[in-house]
């Protein structure tokens, strides 16, 4: 399964940038969303493990945590690393509702996360090449460079390549 190159693991509410050859991984997404923005020709990609839809009103010290600031952070970091703004594309997955049968606003955060990611990417003019959101199962994801394939695996062992 492993490609050549390095593997970077991204924790909850964290983000990372990869150049060249390798893999970005994030494990155990429930209502969080894993967002990847990449420049395929420039071989640069970034992954953020987004936890909440909106950043607080004041400037945040944890931009990777919120959908709006995480996407802006990814764009800035990728462009600084040499990525071309016009070539940026996105793939994302997650935003499940893990606990069913209870009507609680708190449990709908997955859906709101996925919507916020979609909206911010549209606002920034970044085309979405693939996404896999919703449902009631956790996901582990990895994104490979240079292939730019995002692989999603659920706890039941199902694997999808996006």
Q: What is the CB-side half-sphere exposure of residue 40 using CA atoms within 13 A?
A: 9
Least spacing, CB of residue 30 vs other proteins, in Å: 3
With respect to other proteins, which residue has the nearer C-beta, 21 or 160?
160
Least spacing, CB of residue 107 vs other proteins, in Å: 7
**Residues assigned a catalytic role:** 32
With respect to other proteins, which residue has the nearer C-beta, 19 or 23?
23
Least spacing, CB of residue 44 vs other proteins, in Å: 25
Contact 152, 139 (CB under 8 A): yes
Residues that bind other proteins (CB under 8 A): 11-13, 27-32, 51-52, 56, 60-62, 65, 96, 98-102, 104, 106-107, 109, 136-140, 155
In which order are the strands placed within the sheet that holds 159-161? 6-9, 22-29, 139-145, 149-154, 159-161
How far apart CA 137 and CA 28 sit, in angstroms, is: 10
């Amino acid at each position: 399964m492993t490609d050549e190159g390095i593997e970077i693991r991204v924790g909850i509410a964290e983000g990372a940038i990869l150049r060249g050859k390798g893999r970005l991984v994030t494990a155990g997404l429930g209502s969080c969303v894993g967002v990847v923005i990449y420049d395929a020709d420039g071989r640069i990609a970034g992954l953020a493990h987004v936890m909440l839809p909106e950043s607080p009103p004041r400037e945040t010290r944890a931009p990777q945590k919120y959908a709006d600031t995480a996407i802006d952070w990814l764009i800035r970091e990728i462009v600084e690393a040499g990525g071309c703004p016009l070539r940026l594309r996105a793939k994302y997955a997650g935003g499940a509702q893990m606990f069913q049968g209870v009507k609680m606003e708190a449990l709908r955060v997955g859906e709101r996360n996925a919507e916020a990611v979609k909206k911010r990417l549209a606002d920034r003019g970044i085309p979405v090449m693939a996404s896999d959101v919703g449902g009631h199962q956790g996901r582990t994801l990895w994104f490979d460079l240079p292939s730019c394939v995002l692989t999603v695996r659920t706890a039941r062992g199902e694997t999808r390549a996006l």
